[in-house]
Amino acid sequence: KEKAIAVQVARFPWAASGRALTLDRPDGLTKLIIETESERILGVGIVGHGAGELISEGVLAVQMGATARDIAESVHPHPTLSETLMEAAEVFYGFSTHTLTPKRR
């Protein structure tokens, strides 16, 4: 906010994750803070069961300057909680399989 960078926050609720549901842990959330123009991932937030084991992918994405497309197009095993990062990136583009989001213009 201090640098006036335009961002979009893409959120994926774990209630839409098949793995979270099978673990009976649907109360989590994965969010990506994405610079709107470059689509670069500026920050990641994950809350829920096993979040500490998932955050490393987000940290790597921020440190290497990855874009939301990099995460969305990376293979994530199914069914796993790691898919929530991919799904959050897909929310940014409006094509997340498990949530209803408007397409990005």
Q: Is residue 104 domain-resident? A: no
One digit per residue, pLDDT tens: the chain, 105 residues? 678 899 999 999 999 999 999 999 999 999 999 999 999 999 999 999 999 999 999 999 999 999 999 999 999 999 999 999 999 999 999 887 777 666 665
Q: Is residue 63 domain-resident? A: yes
Q: Could you tell me which residues are beta bridge partners of residue 30?
A: 12, 46
List active site positions.
78
Check residue 103 and give its pLDDT.
Answer: 63
Check residue 98 and give its pLDDT.
Answer: 72
Check residue 72 and give its pLDDT.
Answer: 97
The three-state (H, E, C) secondary structure of the chain, written as one string: CCCCCCEEEEEEEHHHCHHHHHCCCCCCEEEEEEECCCCEEEEEEEECCCHHHHHHHHHHHHHHCCEHHHHHCCCCCCCCCCHHHHHHHHHHHCCCCCCCCCCCC
Q: Is residue 98 domain-resident? A: no
* CATH code, 60: 3.30.390.30
Domain span at 68: 7-93
Q: Is residue 29 domain-resident? A: yes
Report how many domains make up the chain.
Answer: 1
Residue 77 CB-half CA count within 13 A: 3
